[in-house]
Amino acid sequence: MSEAFTVITPTGDRPLAFELSRKWMEHQTIKPTRWIIVDDGQVPMVLDNPKEYEFYIRRTPVSQDPKHTLTINIKEALPFIVGEKVAFWEDDEYYAPTYLENMILKLDSYSMAGIGCAKYYHLPTGGYVIHGNMKHCSLAETAFHISILPMIQKFVDRGMEIDWLDCNIWKAMGRDRCNKSLIFKDNEKTLFVGMKGMPGRFGIGIGHRTNSYKIHDDKNRSKLKEWVPEDYQTYLDILLDIK
């Protein structure tokens, strides 16, 4: 697959998580033409040995910034998109090596694609949950065709909190009969895990709240090994460092 496409990652003050994110990107079976990284952390990032596809934007935080700036950072990225396909990629998640290949391929047939019944894992406690939602997906596991960029731009310009942003984008797609959207499950092979509890700036989604994981307990880390078979040892090594 040689077509041009873009990946967008808002980030800031999560150095450990972002370095892992770079590792997961390097493992992808297809690489983006441009990976737009928008950093608004109090401490600017320094990309060691940047890859040719890494496109770094420094957005200096200002006093008028809201508590959560994910939407503002996405707005910064949109003018720099290249190609006809775009995937969101959040800095603190786990992406399996075939994640981008699967998402980008689905945009041959759909205007937007995302993973439903998402898996979330809280690394410090071993808690995990599979959300039953098949009505919309988080932006972290969403990709879209450039044809619907005007609709996404409209919601981004409204400055919505990120939980509302992803919900409204998916609702709008459901009402739009001209565009097709797909929400699919990655049951056969996990493509995405919301990996929460990493050091750094606290996020907005419910996955960051420890009370979201009371139902399941994975102290022996068997679920982590099941969901992240190629890379679970990386997380176990990190766990030793953050305890």
Domains of the chain (ranges plus CATH)? Answer: 6-242 (3.90.550.10)
Q: Token pair of 187, please?
A: 């049951």
User: pLDDT value at position 242?
Assistant: 67
Q: Tell me what pLDDT residue 83 has.
A: 98
pLDDT at 212: 58
- Residue 100: the pLDDT is 98
Q: In this predicted structure, what is the pLDDT of residue 210?
A: 54
Q: Which residues in the chain come in under a pLDDT of 70?
A: 1, 160-163, 200-217, 242-243
* pTM score: 0.91
Contacts of 55 (CB under 8 A, 6+ apart): 34, 35, 36, 37, 80
Predicted local confidence at residue 178, as pLDDT: 78
What is the structure's pLDDT at 132?
Answer: 85
Cα 197 to Cα 147, 166, 182: the distances in Å are 35, 22, 29
**pLDDT score at 63:** 84
